[in-house]
Structure 1
Amino acid sequence: MKAKIIAGIGIVVLVAALAFSMKPKPFDEQFESKMNDMDSYILSGDMEITKGEDVKTYALEVGYQKDEKDLFKVSLVDKELNQEQVILRNDGGVFVVTPSLNQVFKFEGDWPLNSPKPYLLQSIAEIVKSDKAEITKKDDGYLVSSKVTYPNNKNFNQEEIMFDKDANLKWIQIYNSDHAVQLKIVFNKCTYDSKMKKDYFKTPEALDSKTSTNGISEEDLPLYPVQVFDADLQKVSKMNTGAQMKHVLEYAGEKNFTVVESMRKAVPETQTVLMPGEMVDSLDVVGFYDGNHMSVIHNGVEYSVYSEELGPEEMMQVINSMQVAVMK
């Protein structure tokens, strides 16, 4: 009789252990396990970025391949202007491919893992496992909500990420402190361990000159930044260098800085330009920083900010605010 009781207890313990082992893992553990086992992915969808009263819409594609040096590719197509920009990381370095200028900019650096990116699964995984994250099970998947910090996008405050039941991305929304949407990505493709073409991450040697429309012309310049860090505009001038007209804005205050603007045109043959500075990207804007100035080419305009007082994040804020208003 005693042996039967012991056997019965053993069966109960075994059943309980099996039931516990079969219990689904929490979503954050599931997703972490999926990321650890993943060798590649492709994400694509539509991205909307709110800048002041303007909303910019892009077709987005992100590719990743695990390698000795992990490979990344981010393609952004401005739907309004029909302009594409591609950022690549491969064995040769980091490249910004700009067909509208027929140029490829090459530089060294740790992009894209040097700062969080809303569209990268690696950055999303950090949010999911964060202590700040709240995970809610929904009928059709899981909703992750968390406070966030993006160094180059200071107005990003709160993020929501929706996954389906199989941990595939459905959409992302990021809000400012007033809970107004600043960024939205709706994914139409989310493929983990994706098969990619052999040359997917290859740097192009020649670019196709694509038809595009610049939203800004020479007559619109200069644009004036909204973010000036309490500095006052002291002087506006022009410099004619022969090939280009440069517009110079000089600001003075607690933090002095100068903005130089000029139109850029495509070169006749594809060029690869070596950039000595560090790359700083802010979603749809890529800047090159060398210690006391930052340059950005966006929508056919080159903006350069020179300052001994402003840091790279602040320079990017000045340049980003050019997209908000034209003040004459």
Structure 2
Amino acid sequence: MKRKLFLLFVGLMVIFVLSACGSKSQEDVVKELNSKLGDLNSYKVNAKMTLQMGAEPQVYEVEIWHKDPTYYRVNLKNAKQDQSQMILRNDEGVYVLTPALNKSFKFQSDWPQNSSQAYLYESLIKDIIEDKEAKFESTKDHYVFETKTRYQNNKMLPVQEIKLNKKDLSPAMVKVMDVDHNALVTVEFSKVKFNASFDKDDFDMKKNMTGAQLGLPAMAQVNAKEFAVKYPTTEIPGVSLIEEKEVSFEDGKRVILTYDGEKSFTLIQEMAQAVTTTGAATYVKGEPVDLGFTVGALTDRSITWTQDGVDYMIASNDLSPEEMVNIARSVQGDGIK
């Protein structure tokens, strides 16, 4: 009897050892990711991005194209409101396109090299490689990493969980979390195609603008005279809304919200005007900053962005760039007044 128990014990130990030998360590997976990053020539990815930064979740369909070394095309579409915006990078620079308004803005920027990007595969790999204190878990189908993010001017989203498929190390899901580990941005990847092929002009600004405008409503329908005023849902201690002023124009209105207290800032909202002629992109000072639902232009004293046909600007001599970004991300509905 003892002999049988001993042989059973030995057999279980052998199975355990063999199983352990078959599983990859964190170092093994990081090494493979490093190799994959070096061989990454191109890809096409579809994903669903959910934001939990406002009163209600906002869901966006995201289509990402990348061609080595610096060609990018990221199409963000609001699943409910049929609004879209595109980030484009080619040899000429970085562009943000708003097809419904026939507008294009150009940045001189290193985007996306200068910070984390939850929907860009190579950015996720870099986050994993560069964080020497990353946590690691191996499940049945996935490798799961918890890493620090590399967002600029943003302590609101310091950590992320990156889930990779074991089969080919493709991205499965990313959760970008706040200091309490609440997921504020979730990206679920549905289609990943490596070594994708592209036509010569797939990253051309004019071609993408024209293609994105097909099937859109007429510009006059987009430019309604009225819009719902939105307020930040992020609260800054000691700061409150002291004035709300509306200025009427023949073709719309401008709403100016003034906040004051320990720090002061102004939030301006105005119906965006469509461009009726196709011309060169407007050069924008500042850095493109990912707000999740759109891309803004960030300087030391202001941040501007367009959402759902409305132009927004936050201006302040007191707020840090990080604080302006956090407030901008929370301007999504009825909030703190």
Alignment partner for residue 257 of structure 2, among 228, 249, 254? Answer: 249
> Could you tell me how far 1:26 is from its partner in structure 2?
0.5
Cα separation, partners in 2 of 1:102 and 1:276, compared to 1, 3 Å: closer
List aligned pairs for 1:220-299, cutoff 5 A. Answer: 220-221=228-229, 223-227=230-234, 229=236, 230-278=238-286, 279-299=288-308
Q: Match for residue 161 of structure 1?
A: 162
Does the C-alpha gap of structure 1 residues 167 and 132 become closer, same or farther in structure 2, counting only changes over 3 Å?
same
Amino acid at match of 1:225: P
Shift of 1:192: 2.2
Moved over 4 A (4+): none
Matches of 1:89 and 1:290 in 2, distance apart?
20
Deviation at 1:326, TM superposition (A): 4.9
**Unpaired runs of at least 5, structure 1:** 1-19
1:201 to 197, 203, 209: 203
Instruction: Write the deviation string for residues 155-185 of structure 1: whole angstroms up to 9, x where unpaired.
Output: 3243222222221112222333333322222
SS of residue in 1 equivalent to 2:95: strand
SS in 1 for 2:276: coil
Task: Give the letter for the 2:320 counterpart.
Answer: G
Which residue matches 1:310?
Answer: 319
Contact 1:32-1:125 at 8 Å conserved across structures:
yes
For the aligned residue pairs, the C-alpha RMSD in angstroms reads: 2.7
What corresponds to 1:184 in structure 2?
A: 186
TM-score by length of 2: 0.80
The corresponding residue for 1:16 is: none
Is 1:173 equivalent to 2:175 in the alignment?
yes
Match of 1:137 in 2: 138
The one-letter amino acid of 1:132's match is E
Partner of 2:110: 110
Counterpart Cα distance in 2 of 1:219 and 1:97: 21
| One-letter amino acid of the structure 2 residue matched with residue 294 of structure 1 | I
Other-structure match for 2:58: 56
Alignment of 1:212-223 (within 5 A): 218=226, 220-221=228-229, 223=230
Which secondary structure state, in structure 1, belongs to the residue aligned with residue 331 of structure 2? Answer: helix
Q: Cα distance, 1:152 vs. partner?
A: 5.7
Equivalent in the alignment of 1:9:
none
Displacement after TM superposition at 1:114 (Å)? 2.0
The sequence identity of aligned pairs, in percent, is: 29
Query: Is the contact made by 2:117 and 2:123 (CA closer than 8 Å) also made in structure 1?
Result: yes
Measured against aligned partners, the alpha-carbon deviations of 1:231-290 in whole angstroms (never above 9, x if no partner) come to: 222222122344441111122222221111111243333344423311222222221234
Aligned equivalent of 1:97: 97
**Structure 2 Cα separation of the partners of residues 231 and 156 of structure 1:** 22
CA distance in 1, matches of 2:260, 2:55: 27
What's the TM-score, normalizing by structure 1? 0.83
